[in-house]
A and B are shown apart, each in its own frame.
Chain A
C-alpha cells in the first residue's frame, strides 16, 4: 500500500536533520495558520498563488530563492564548522550525514537559489523592458514556477522522511547506482530535478518566444536592453541543455528502477558516459546563471554611471559568443578521465577562448564607468565588488583550463574555491545587484541604504575570508568533501574559512534587517514617480509597482535606451508628452492550473520515490485532468475598462509632473 515507506524512514536516531526539519516545517505551517487566521488567504490566493502576472510570478521566484538560500547557507555553516572541528577528531557530523549536507548544499544553491533568483529577475523585468503586457504564455509561466517550488519542497522533505543523496551535487555512477546507493536519497534528487527541470524548460520556451516574438513596436533586436539579450541567451541555453539533463537523469532512473545498464559496471554499462552527458548540461548551466547576472551589471553600471553602455554591440556579440562557446567545453570537468592529450587540448583551448568575450564584457563595464557620474548606491557596490572578485575567479578558471595544471588540483579545494569565486562573486552578487536595483520597481519603495551597504561589505570580506584559504588548501593538497583530516597544516586555514562564513552570516542577517526596516519605513522610502535611479530603459517609464497591464498605452520605440530620450525631451520642454488616448485592455485571467498541477506533481514525485505506484498513477491523472479543465474554460481574459486605465495612468502622470517641476525649479 505505501511502497517502501515505513516508520523507519523518519530518522529518529539522527537529531540534527529531524529537529531542523521539524522547526522548518513547523515554521512554514505556523505561517500558513497565521495567514489563514488573519484572513489573508483569499488575497494570497487571488493575487499571488493563482496569479499569471509575470511580475507576481517573478517575486515568488525570488522569494523561493531567498528561502532556499537560507537553507543552503545553513548547510554551508555546518560544513565549515565540521571541518574546523574535525582535525584529528570525528567532529559532530557523522560521515553519512556530512555527505548528504554537501550534496544538498550544491543542489540547492545551483538549482533552487541561483536559477529561481535569475528567472525571477527575468520574469519581473524582461516584459517591462520590451514594452509589453505579459510573457508569451502567462499560465505556463505559473506552471513553471510551481513545478520549481515542487522540486524544492521534495528536496526539503528528504530532511524528515528518508534521506538525501550522499553522492555530491551530481550523482556520479556507479556510486549513485542502486548497488552502492540503495536508499531513497538519490531518488529524491532525481525526481525533484526531473520535476523542477520541466518547469525550467517551459520557462526557457516562454522567454525565447516572448523575446523573439513579442516586443513593442520599434523595439528592434539592436535596441533591446542588454538584460533582454542575456535573458535570451540564457533561455536558449535552457532549451539546448535541459532536455539533456532530463534524458540523463531518466537513464539513471531506468538503471535504478528497472535494472537497465546505462551507467553500471556490469553488462557493458558505461559510467563515463554519465560524466559526458551530465556536463553537457552542467557546464552551460553555470552560464545560464551567470549571463543574466552580466545583464544586471550592464544595466546597473550604465544607469548609475549616467551613461549609455560602452560597446553595446560588442556586448551583444560577447553574450551570444558565450552562449555558443559554453556548449563546447564540458570535458574540462573531467580532464583526468583519460580522453587523451589531443581531446584535452581541444577542450582546454575552447575553455580559454571563453575568457575573451568575458574579458570584453569586463572592459565594457569599466569603460562605461570611465568619465561617468558614478553614484555609489547599493547596486553599484555589488557591481564593483563583482568586477574585482569575478576577475580573480576567471583567472583561476583559465588556470584550471590548462590540462596539466588541472591534473594537479583536480577535485581539490582549489576547484571548490574557484567555482565559489565565480558563482558567489558573479551570480550571487548579480542577484543582489538586481534585487537592490529593481526592488523599488517591484514594490514601490526603495531598500534602506546604510544596512544594505553594511551587508555588502560583510558579504564581500566574508567571501574573501571564507574562500581564499581554500585556494591555499587546494594547493596544499586537501581534496574536497573531507569529513575529517589529520594534517596539522590545514587546520588554521580551515579556521579562517569558518570565520569567513560567520562574516557572511552577519551579511545575511543585515540583509534580513534591511528588508524589515525598509518595509516598516516604506512611506519614507516610497518611489512616487516610478523612476528612482534616473533610469534609461522602459521599465522606469511606468509606475512602481507597475499596474497589472504594465503600460497604459503600447510604447513606440525610436532608439536604444528607449526611455532616456523621451525623458530628456520632457525635461528640455518642461512638459510631459500629451496624454494618450486610453482604450480597454484585455489581460489573461488568473488560473489555479499551475498550483493544482504542482500539487499533483508533488504527490507524483513522492509516490515515485517511495514506489507507491497507485498514488503515482492517481497523481498523474490528477495533473492531466487539471490541464483538461484549463483547456475547457471559456473565458480566458478579463477586460480593464479605458476609464480605469486612464485613472491609474493619470495618477502616475501627475507624480511625474511634480517631479519634473521640481527638477525645473532646481535648475
Chain B
C-alpha cells in the first residue's frame, strides 16, 4: 500500500537532481507501470514545441528565399540597428534566466522567488516586445513596411510570429501567476509551470536563430 501511496504522491515530490525534495529516492520509470503525469505532460509539450519549431522553420525558409528580393527597397543593412537587437537579445535571455529562477522558486515553494521571478520575466518580456514594436513602427513610418517588398514581408512575418509567441507567452505567464495565487502549488499547476518554462526557453532558442539568420547575417552582407 505504501508504494502505491508514494507513486500517487510522486507528482508532488518533483525532484531536483537525483533525489526528491522530501529526501526519498526517486522512483525509476521502470518501476511504474505507466509514466507519471508529469513526464507525460512534459513529453507531450516537448512534442508540441517541436511542431512549433517546425512552423518557424517554414518562416525561416521563406525568409531565406525572399531575403534578397528587396524590389528596389531597403535591404537588411539599411534598416537593422545593432544596438536595438543587442538590447532585445539581452532582455530575452535575461528573462529566460528569471523564468528559471521562478521555476526553482515554485519547486522550493518559495513565494518570493516564484512571484519575483515571474514578475521580472514579464517585465523583461514586455521590454523586448516594446523594443520590437518600436522597430516595426519605425520601419513602417519610413516606408519600409511589410508591403514594400518580399524581403520586408518575410522579415515582418518571421520576427512578428516570434513576437506574437512572446505576447501569448506573457498572457500565459500572468495567468500562471494568478493561478498559483488562487490555488497554490498544486501538482497540475506545477506541470503547467513546467510547460510554460519550456515554452519560454524555446522562444529563446528561436530568437537565437532569428538573431543569427536575420540580424547578424543581414548586417554582415
Chain A interfacial positions (CB closer than 8 Å to B): 132, 136-137, 201-202, 204-206, 208-209, 212-217, 239-244, 246-248, 250-251, 254-255, 258-262, 264, 266-270, 273, 277, 280, 554, 624, 628, 631-632, 634, 636
Contact = CB atoms under 8 A, between A and B. Distances in A.
Interface string B38-59: 0110011001101110111111
Nearest to A242: B51
Contacts, number: 130
A213 B35 contact: yes
Given A201-B51, A277-B58, A270 B69 contact: yes
Contact of A267 (B33, B52, B56, B149): B149
Interface stretch (B13-21, B113-121, B152-160, B201-209): B152-160
Nearest to A215: B34
Given A213-B43, A632-B182, 7 more contacts: A132-B34, A205-B47, A213-B35, A214-B35, A261-B147, A269-B153, A634-B183
Interface of B: 33-35, 39-40, 43-44, 47-48, 50-52, 54-59, 61-62, 65-66, 69-71, 146-151, 153-154, 156-157, 161, 171, 175, 179, 182-183, 188, 192
B54 A262 contact: no
B8 to A, nearest CB: 10
A206 B34 CA distance: 16
Nearest to B186: A634
A203 to B, nearest CB: 12
Contacts of B192: 631
B33 A247 contact: no
Contacts of B71: 261, 266-268
Contact of A254 (B149, B153, B171): B153
A631 B175 contact: yes
A205 B48 contact: yes
Contacts of B50: 239
A262 B154 contact: yes
A246 B58 CA distance: 9
A217 B30 CA distance: 9
B149 A268 contact: yes
13 contacts: A136-B44, A205-B44, A213-B43, A239-B47, A244-B55, A247-B56, A247-B58, A260-B147, A260-B156, A267-B148, A268-B69, A634-B183, A636-B188
A269 B68 CA distance: 11
Given A258-B147, A268-B69, A631 B44 contact: no
B173 to A, nearest CB: 13
Given A137-B44, A209-B44, A267-B71, A273 B65 contact: yes
A261 B43 contact: no
B175 A262 contact: no
A260 B51 contact: no
A244 B147 CA distance: 23
A214 B157 contact: no
A618 to B, nearest CB: 16
Given A277-B61, A554-B33, A260 B157 contact: yes
A212 B29 CA distance: 13
A267 B150 contact: yes
Interface centre among B44, B146, B156 (most CB of A within 10 A): B44
A252 to B, nearest CB: 11
A269 B70 CA distance: 10
B150 A270 contact: yes
Contacts of A634: 183
A262 B62 contact: yes
B191 to A, nearest CB: 11
A227 to B, nearest CB: 20
Nearest to B150: A268
A260 B151 CA distance: 10
B174 to A, nearest CB: 11
A141 to B, nearest CB: 12
A244 B58 CA distance: 6
Contacts of A205: 44, 47-48, 51
Contacts of B154: 262
A201 B54 CA distance: 12
Contacts of A280: 58
The 5 tightest CB contacts between A and B, nearest first, are A268-B69, A268-B150, A243-B55, A247-B58, A260-B153
Nearest to B188: A636
Contacts of A624: 171
Contacts of B150: 261-262, 264, 267-270
Nearest to A216: B33
Given A243-B52, A259-B147, A631-B192, A273 B33 contact: no
A631 B179 contact: yes
Contacts of A246: 55
A636 B147 CA distance: 48
Given A132-B34, A209-B40, A213-B40, A251 B157 contact: yes
A254 B157 contact: yes
A243 B44 CA distance: 16
Given A213-B40, A216-B33, A244-B58, A258 B146 contact: yes
Contacts of A136: 40, 44
Contacts of A215: 34
A268 B66 contact: yes
Given A201-B51, A260-B147, A277-B62, A214 B153 contact: no
Interface centre among A205, A250, A634 (most CB of B within 10 A): A205
Contacts of B43: 209, 212-213
Contacts of B70: 268
B76 to A, nearest CB: 14
